[in-house]
Amino acid sequence: MTAEEILEQLKPLGKDTYKKVLQNHGVKEPFFGVKIEDLKKFQKRLKKDYQLALDLYDTGVYDAMYLAGLIADDHKMTKKDLRHWAEKASCAGLSEYTVPWVAAESLHGHELALEWIESKKESLASSGWATLSGLMAIKDDAELDLAELKQLLQRVQKTIHQQPNGVRYVMNSFVIAAGSYVQALTDLALQTAAKIGSVTVDMGGTACKVPSAAEYIQKVQKRGAIGKKRKTVKC
């Protein structure tokens, strides 16, 4: 099945009501408004397909780009592929989710995350911090550089309130990920959250709110789930 054939099948699945929701979340044309549950049906059929994922992403159609992230063969993704995806991400749905998901599960996530967080481009910096969060969620602690992550928590504490809108959001999520997925960082993450205080982010025309990092981590503690890793960051 080709990317063009998939676009033909996706188009009639678009819903105007869901399209409005996506617009409120910053998704830009072209897109159809296909619900994620319907995209996941394609994912089950297509499985992992490296080339098809690249072709779908290059259509520029948001629904197809999101699907590309679901079916990407992460270990085959090159640094060139991932940089291209990050540069082409046209909204937070791609720069904060699709691209970081694939990058975190690729062979190049750590390297690219550190590269992207230095970018002055909001979407790239957002992808970098989100990728770091994804790595903490799926990697064994032994595979993580705890000293580096502690330094990054300090960086978040010092700079978060001076960052662009989207970067503030993913930096806050980084603190949550550090405290929730890496037990050795929980106390420091809670201290960081307390020093940061409330994080203000313009969420556009949505009802979404920025979660309190401290409250979120504490809820994970109460569930006894600190340090519990995920099999995948994709959803």
pLDDT tens-place string over residues 98-125:
999 999 999 999 999 999 999 999 999 9
Identify whether 214 is part of a domain: no
Mean pLDDT for all residues in the chain: 97
Encode pLDDT of 146-196 as tens digits.
999 999 999 999 999 999 999 999 999 999 999 999 999 999 999 999 999
Q: How many CB atoms within 10 Å of residue 218? A: 15
Encode pLDDT of 120-144 as tens digits.
999 999 999 999 999 999 999 999 9
pTM over 0.95: yes
Domain count, the chain: 1
Identify whether 127 is part of a domain: no
Specify the pLDDT at position 78.
Answer: 98
Residue 55 lies in domain: 1-72
Q: Is 76 exposed, middle or buried (0-12, 13-18, 19+ CB in 10 A)?
A: middle
User: How far apart are the C-alpha atoms of 187 and 168, rounded to whole Å?
Assistant: 21
Chain CA centroid to CA 90, Å = 13
Residue 34: band (very low, low, confident or very high) from pLDDT cuts 50, 70, 90 = very high
Identify whether 94 is part of a domain: no
